[in-house]
Structure 1
């Protein structure tokens, strides 16, 4: 049994490693062509609809996890960008990682990935504008940002390799952890139990998965291989995606960081918004 688990781990880990290295390198090369100055100009523009679109684009082209998004958010607030646009970026950046979304497409299928991308993007915009409409801009503290530096990138293969290696140091361990957990689930957890407990008829699993995902702090990179195995064993797509979105969209470390720049009411609303987005998204996946 343990030999089977090890073989399963090697298979999953090898597939993820090849995908991660190749996709990360290509994306780092392409990022050198991104006109960050123009993107920033549109983010600060008077047309908030267009600015929201560029906030999503900026979130997609900047591969940040939930914690590393915070310094960028502080910088955007410092530059007096519209609060709603900053919130759109805050919600969308961790869940629209370009490398992980591409791997998701290969592992889970492009239909699931496209629906995931659309849902998270639309919810990020809705939540961002709703928070501004309810006056949560007043809940932002006066924060002085230190240690953040914007960099302009140029096309450079060596630089892309360095970026890829740096990304591997921060993200790759979570991919391997996910592969290990996935291999254990694949070999040791009975298929009938997963299908019976977390199958499509048990709708109540969706909100529970959305709530559980936040304190677990399972990064999106770890959830991809785990999700692949859970779905293969019969777990419904709804709770899997709810867990994935909530774990990527918010985490305990991120909440702690947010408390340094947001007042309590905005932090609570942020967590509640992520849970709502995850839960509704899970039910949408049930329907499709």
Structure 2
């Protein structure tokens, strides 16, 4: 069991480091090619509102919850509005064509449509509520770039070394939180028996959905990889509501993501984020259970 836990830790660490560096470097290249001012202007101008653009960007970037962070930091560094950036943060791990298609194939298209509509609404409404609560003042350690004259674009090959250096600079302050969060997630993965988890989630009682949501949040999972597990749980007799509460909680927030967000969010926004994902998982679980 210890060996499995260490293997899980090493695998998740390698994947997460690769994802973070790749996404950070890609964001740095985008910022160099188009400039933070253009990115900010595109998000803030035009007929389509900024939050809708954040939602669309999240829907077409099938990232796990952790790999959304470098893109989020890049958006905030470019001066993108708080509400737009938070819409992206919520929608990216929960909504993309791969997830929707997988849910439709495995659980049926009625559930896929319900899940999609619910996730769209949550991604747009939640940042509005956070803004009304003044949470935009609870963002820290974000280097908002000023209006400067950028150097000429050197081409992809010429710009890549600088992008990689920027990616490493973005990663360094998050390494310790990332390691701590991954250790917690791997320990839970290695030492919590699957049959115990299935027994809790399959209980036909009112608190099965909230319990599944609470269990899901400490897990580090992607919805794409959780879908086959969800099918196996359903085949074993687990109710559909707890399954989706487990999946939404695990995909929407995880120890590595929360640990890294602590470097960007002040405590009240961090607590609000986790509480929101927990509430969304519970509401989503009950909604899908009642309408399926």
Instruction: Tell me the TM-score normalised to structure 1 length.
Output: 0.65
The answer to whether 1:264 aligns with 2:267 is yes
Change (3 A) 1:40 1:250: same
Shift of 1:97: 3.3
The answer to whether 1:63 aligns with 2:67 is no
Tell me the alpha carbon deviations over residues 28-64 of structure 1, each in whole angstroms, 9 at most, x when there is no partner: xxxxxxxx999975522387x7322222111111121
Verify the 8 A CA contact 1:194 1:234 in the aligned structure 2: no
- Partner residue in 1 for 2:255: 252
Change (3 A) 1:135 1:226: same
State the alpha-carbon separation in 2 of the partners of residues 267 and 71 from structure 1.
Answer: 17
Verify the 8 A CA contact 2:106 2:231 in the aligned structure 1: yes
State the alpha-carbon separation in 2 of the partners of residues 258 and 196 from structure 1.
Answer: 29
The answer to whether 1:217 aligns with 2:217 is no
Tell me the alpha carbon deviations over residues 43-92 of structure 1, each in whole angstroms, 9 at most, x when there is no partner: 22387x73222221111111211111001111111122221111111011
- Partner residue in 2 for 1:109: 108
Shift of 1:99: 2.3
Verify the 8 A CA contact 2:201 2:242 in the aligned structure 1: no
Matches within 5 A, 1:145-184: none
- Partner residue in 1 for 2:4: none
Change (3 A) 1:197 1:103: closer
Change (3 A) 1:40 1:230: farther
- Partner residue in 1 for 2:121: 122
Instruction: Tell me the TM-score normalised to structure 2 length.
Output: 0.64
Say which SS state the counterpart of residue 218 (structure 2) adopts.
Answer: helix
Matches within 5 A, 1:163-242: 198-199=202-203, 201-242=204-245
Shift of 1:233: 2.4
Q: Show structure 2 runs of 5+ residues with no match.
A: 1-33, 145-154, 157-192
State the alpha-carbon separation in 2 of the partners of residues 209 and 95 from structure 1.
Answer: 17
- Partner residue in 2 for 1:32: none
Q: Show structure 1 runs of 5+ residues with no match.
A: 1-35, 146-150, 153-183
Shift of 1:196: 9.7
- Partner residue in 2 for 1:45: 45
Verify the 8 A CA contact 2:200 2:208 in the aligned structure 1: no
